Amino acid sequence: MNTFRIGGDLPVHRLGFGAMRLTDWGPPKDLPAAVAVARRAVELGVTLIDTADAYALGANEELLAQALHPYPRGLVIATKAGQSRPGRGRWKPLGRPEYLIQQAELSLRRLRLERIELFQLHRVDPQVPFADQIGALKQLRDEGKIRHIGLSEVGVAQIEEARRTVPIAGVQNRYNLTDRRHEDVLDHCEAAGIAFIPWEPVANGTHAATEGPLAQVAKEVGGTPVQVALAWLLARSPVMLPIPGTGSAAHLEENMAAARIELTREQFSRLDAVGREPRHAGPAR
């Protein structure tokens, strides 16, 4: 697996793991199975795991600590704050500075860390001045509680506004082969050397269809449609760090095998043409 240095000094393998699906609304229904998947991800070479304080109301972070602490050398657990969960299936941005600082402290405790290597603003809260939200993250960074700052679901103007206050090391926006609305953000991140971490990189599983362009290329390369979708992302930009998520060990192994697939220029171009039609937005996360 080739690597990318987040913030210029934090090397990770470019194909990571999204931990959200290891838990439900609360703790996992099958704790041993969830722990096994997290551990298997590390065995397969994952060095970037993405979670958030809002995933299972903190239980997701606790699960990762239970499964993986003490963490192997080089493993980065990235987490997020700024997205609250007022009810099952409901998400609400909450970016008051005191809340972001409180949640970072709780994440440190749940993850059993002294410093979070990548801490991301989960959503921009439209009810709070953006400068105040970035200021809270800067305070955490200045205090040594986080190393690098990331943003999620932002546009180019917001990235640049934030960078006038503090370096931005990562951007996590929804992006996949058939949802390319953030193409300009990806291009901006590539030019600036900022990690681009696409969530829902396989379109919530819809890229697993057994017919269509993805399936055709999969036959040509001896892989699966999901693996081809991930391989396309990795080929799309050197700053791309997909984080496919699953609660299944079998699906995890399928996803990670995508790092071994190499697309020809013709195959990449053929797939690239698939995602040019506008698509409807998926659910927030």
> What residues are annotated to the active site?
55
> How many helices (H) and strands (E) would you count in the chain?
10, 11
194 bridge partner residues: none
Query: In angstroms, rounded to a whole number, what is the distance separating the alpha carbons of residues 261 and 251?
Result: 16
Tell which residue, 238, 244, 216, 246, has the closest CA to residue 228.
Answer: 216
Strands (E), the chain: 3-6, 10-13, 17-18, 48-50, 76-81, 83-87, 90-93, 116-121, 146-152, 170-172, 195-196
The candidate with the shortest Cα–Cα distance to 225, out of 251, 193, 264, is 251
DSSP, residue by residue, 15-38: S-EE-GGGS-SSS-SSHHHHHHHH
| Amino acid, single-letter form, for residue 273 | A
Residue with tokens 């103007």: 157
* Pairwise CA distance, residues 167 & 137, whole Å: 11
